[in-house]
């Protein structure tokens, strides 16, 4: 297992590389060029300067996150070929600078969605990301996006960049009538083009699940269960067509048995990366908040998850996903330093215990 940390870059993150380096057992980053729009080419110069900076801090950068797929590819528009060409150029350039895994998603329009970015946890006064379907009731998608942008402490959030707001209405209209099968066909077209290039340059594409793990606003979503990921793996059969198994995204649906899903795809060599975090279900349906990583503070069994990783995909890249905001930290919701660092320490502890008791 290689422990990594998400970092948004010098000008976009409240956390410094020097702080990340001081977290025990931290091997590197899941890096991100947060200023690139979906469909844009990531130039060699941009990649080199980002990765050189990470290396200078004594950290590796073998995973890059959120090379976003342009909506025209997901919608299957004639312009998709151009955007796929751009994507391929980016893959080649990332490979040249040592990147081995690219985390992306194939969710129409929205990346992740929450109804509150800083819900106070009454038990201890910290706050975390929160979702209650009831709160979506009267809000239209535009309102949700506006709220999200306004409540993100001035940081841009992946998938919620303010400049995308203008196109939102038009894009939502364009998706009308698209079925999950149609979206899967477009996904296959994309994978058939990029996976052979990935094989050639030894990069693995890691698909992030829908978050939360069900369809929203009537949009088709095809990546939120074991069965759906089996279909995705079957669209282009290659270890380079892999998953970024996010425990909190898939785990937002209690029907998803996360340790079992890790074992299933780990055994098939289809897990290239993992985001690990905990979820606390609240009363009713589709109602949860994010918890600290510790098993007993949420509803996911972190020991069973780490054991499944150890048994089936022990070399995978993992990162502690979203933390709560604690100790008065101000930062990007979900992406402060303190609680994610605690998460990394805890996951490292579980790993050491599993390793020593397994020998
Ligand atoms: C949220 C992240 C996601 C993830 C993308 C990958 O916090 O896990 O934004 O990076 O879905 O494309």
Percent of the chain whose pLDDT exceeds 70? 97
Ligand 1 atom closest to Cα of residue 322: 7
Give the pLDDT confidence score for residue 168 in this predicted structure.
Answer: 83
Number of domains in the chain: 1
Give the pLDDT confidence score for residue 277 in this predicted structure.
Answer: 98
Pocket of ligand 1 (CB under 6 A): 65-66, 103-105, 111-112, 158-159, 208, 246, 275, 322, 334
Q: Is 335 a catalytic residue?
A: yes
Ligand 1 atom closest to Cα of residue 334: 7
Active-site residue, from 34, 132, 210, 321: 321
What residue owns the CA closest to ligand 1's atom 10?
66
CB of 44 closer than 8 Å to CB of 18: no
How far does residue 208's CA lie from ligand 1's centre (Å)?
7
Q: Is 322 a catalytic residue?
A: yes
The one-digit pLDDT tens for each residue of the chain (359 residues) are 999 999 999 888 999 999 999 999 999 999 998 888 899 999 999 999 999 999 999 999 999 998 999 999 999 999 999 999 999 999 999 999 999 999 999 999 888 999 899 999 999 999 999 999 988 877 888 888 888 778 777 776 666 676 767 788 888 899 999 999 999 999 999 999 999 999 999 999 999 999 999 998 889 999 999 999 999 999 999 999 999 999 999 999 999 999 999 999 999 999 999 999 999 999 999 999 999 999 999 999 999 999 999 999 999 999 999 999 999 999 999 999 999 999 999 999 999 999 999 98
Give the pLDDT confidence score for residue 158 in this predicted structure.
Answer: 64
How far does residue 357's CA lie from ligand 1's centre (Å)?
33
Q: Cis ω on the peptide bond leading into residue 276 (within 30° of 0)?
A: no
Angle between helices 258-267 and 226-235 (to 10 degrees): 20
Q: What is the mean pLDDT of the chain?
A: 94
The two tokens of residue 89 are 């150029």
Q: Is 207 a catalytic residue?
A: no
Q: Is 224 a catalytic residue?
A: no
CB of 310 closer than 8 Å to CB of 355: yes
- Render 242-267 in DSSP notation, one character per residue: EEEEEHHHHTTSTTS-HHHHHHHHHH
List the domain range (segments joined by +) for residue 302: 2-358
Q: What is the largest CA-CA distance in the chain?
A: 57
**CATH classification at residue 111:** 3.20.20.150
- Say how far apart CA 155 and CA 143 lie, in whole Å: 18
Q: Which one, of 72, 7, 78, lies nearest residue 39 by Cα?
A: 72
How far does residue 356's CA lie from ligand 1's centre (Å)?
32
How far does residue 310's CA lie from ligand 1's centre (Å)?
23
Q: Is 338 a catalytic residue?
A: no
Active-site residue, from 34, 246, 313, 339: 246
Give the pLDDT confidence score for residue 153 in this predicted structure.
Answer: 75
Q: Is 275 a catalytic residue?
A: yes
How far does residue 145's CA lie from ligand 1's centre (Å)?
16
What residue owns the CA closest to ligand 1's atom 9?
158
What tens digit of pLDDT does each residue of 158-208 get? 666 767 677 888 888 999 999 999 999 999 999 999 999 999 999 999 999
Give the pLDDT confidence score for residue 123 in this predicted structure.
Answer: 93
């Amino acid at each position: 297992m290689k422990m990594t940390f998400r970092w948004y870059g010098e000008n976009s993150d409240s956390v410094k590389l020097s702080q990340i380096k001081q977290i025990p057992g931290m091997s590197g980053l899941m890096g991100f060029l947060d200023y690139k729009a979906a469909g844009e080419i990531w130039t060699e110069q941009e990649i080199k300067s980002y990765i050189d900076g990470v290396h200078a801090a004594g950290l590796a950068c073998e995973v890059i996150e959120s090379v976003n797929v342009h909506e025209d590819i997901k919608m299957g528009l004639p312009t998709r070929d151009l955007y796929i060409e751009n994507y391929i150029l980016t893959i080649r350039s990332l490979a040249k600078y040592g990147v081995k895994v690219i985390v992306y998603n194939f969710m129409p329009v929205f990346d992740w969605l929450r109804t509150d970015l800083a819900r106070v946890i009454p038990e201890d006064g910290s706050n975390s990301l929160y979702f209650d379907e009831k709160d979506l009731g009267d809000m239209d998608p535009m309102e949700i996006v506006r709220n999200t942008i306004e409540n993100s402490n001035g940081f841009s959030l992946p998938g919620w960049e303010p400049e995308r707001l203008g196109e939102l209405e038009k894009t939502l209209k364009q998706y009308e009538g698209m079925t999950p099968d149609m979206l899967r066909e477009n996904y296959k077209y994309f994978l058939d083009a990029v996976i052979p290039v990935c094989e050639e340059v030894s990069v693995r594409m890691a698909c992030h699940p829908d978050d939360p793990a069900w369809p929203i606003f009537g949009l088709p979503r095809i990546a939120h269960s074991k069965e759906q990921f089996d279909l995705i793996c079957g669209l282009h059969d290659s270890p380079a067509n892999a998953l970024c198994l996010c425990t909190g995204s898939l785990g937002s649906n209690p029907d998803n048995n996360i340790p079992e899903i890790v074992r299933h795809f780990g055994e098939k060599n289809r897990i290239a990366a993992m985001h690990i975090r905990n979820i606390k279900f609240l009363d009713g349906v589709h109602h949860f908040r994010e918890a600290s990583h510790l098993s007993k503070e949420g509803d996911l069994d972190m020991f069973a998850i780490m054991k499944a990783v150890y048994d089936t995909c022990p070399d995978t890249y993992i990162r502690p996903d979203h933390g709560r905001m604690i100790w008065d930290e101000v930062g990007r919701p979900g992406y402060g330093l303190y609680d994610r660092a605690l998460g990394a320490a805890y996951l490292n502890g579980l790993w050491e215990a599993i390793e020593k008791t397994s020998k």
